[in-house]
Amino acid sequence: MLIALAVAVATHLALRHLRFGREIYAIGSNPPAARLRGIRVVPVTLAVFALSGGCAGLAGLLYAARFGYVNPGITGVGFELTVIAAVVIGGVSINGGAGSVLGTALGCCCSARSRWRCRSSACPASWQNAIYGAIILLALVIDRSVREGGIGHLRRRGRA
C-alpha cells in the first residue's frame, strides 16, 4: 500500500508541477493543437507508454510478492472492465485530457468497495461486469454531452 501511495503522490506531483505533466494533458486533450504549440507529441507519448510499462512491471512485482506466484495466462484476466470503470468513476475522461490522480485513487477505492459489496451479497460475477459496463457506457454518454455543450445541447437537438 505504501508503494502504491508513493507512486500516486509522485505521479500527482509530476502531472501538476512539471512541464512534462502539462504536456501529457495537452496531448490528451488535443494532439494536433499540442503539436502546433511546439510539444513533441511522439517522444512524450512514447515516454508515457514506457512509464506505463514500468508501472505495470512494478504492479506485477507487487502481485508476485503478495501471492508468491504469477501465472501470465490467468493473472489479471477479467480486470479490464473493473479498471476502466474505476478510472471513469474517478473522473478521467475516456477521450483524454482530463482527470486527476486523486480522482483515480478515489475511483479505485469506490470500485473495490462495490466489488467487495457484490461478493459479500453473493452477487454473480456477470452482474458485476454488467454494472461496470453500464458505468462505462454512462461515462461515455456524459463525456460526449459535456464535450458537445452539455445536456441542453442534446435537448435542443431532440436526443434527450
Domain ranges of the chain: 1-71, 78-160
79 has pLDDT over 80: no
pTM of this structure: 0.68
Amino acid at 149: G
39-50: average pLDDT: 92
Kindly report the average pLDDT of the chain as a whole number.
80
Residue 85 grid cell: 470503470
| Confidence at residue 157, expressed as pLDDT on a 0 to 100 scale | 53
pLDDT tier at 49 (50, 70, 90 boundaries)? very high
Contacts of 58 (CB under 8 A, 6+ apart): 3, 7
Check residue 149 and give left, alpha or beta (phi > 0: left; psi -120 to 50: alpha): left
99 has pLDDT over 70: yes
Residue 94 grid cell: 475516456
45-59: average pLDDT: 92
Between the alpha carbon of residue 45 and those of residues 61, 84, 88, the distances in Å are 24, 20, 21
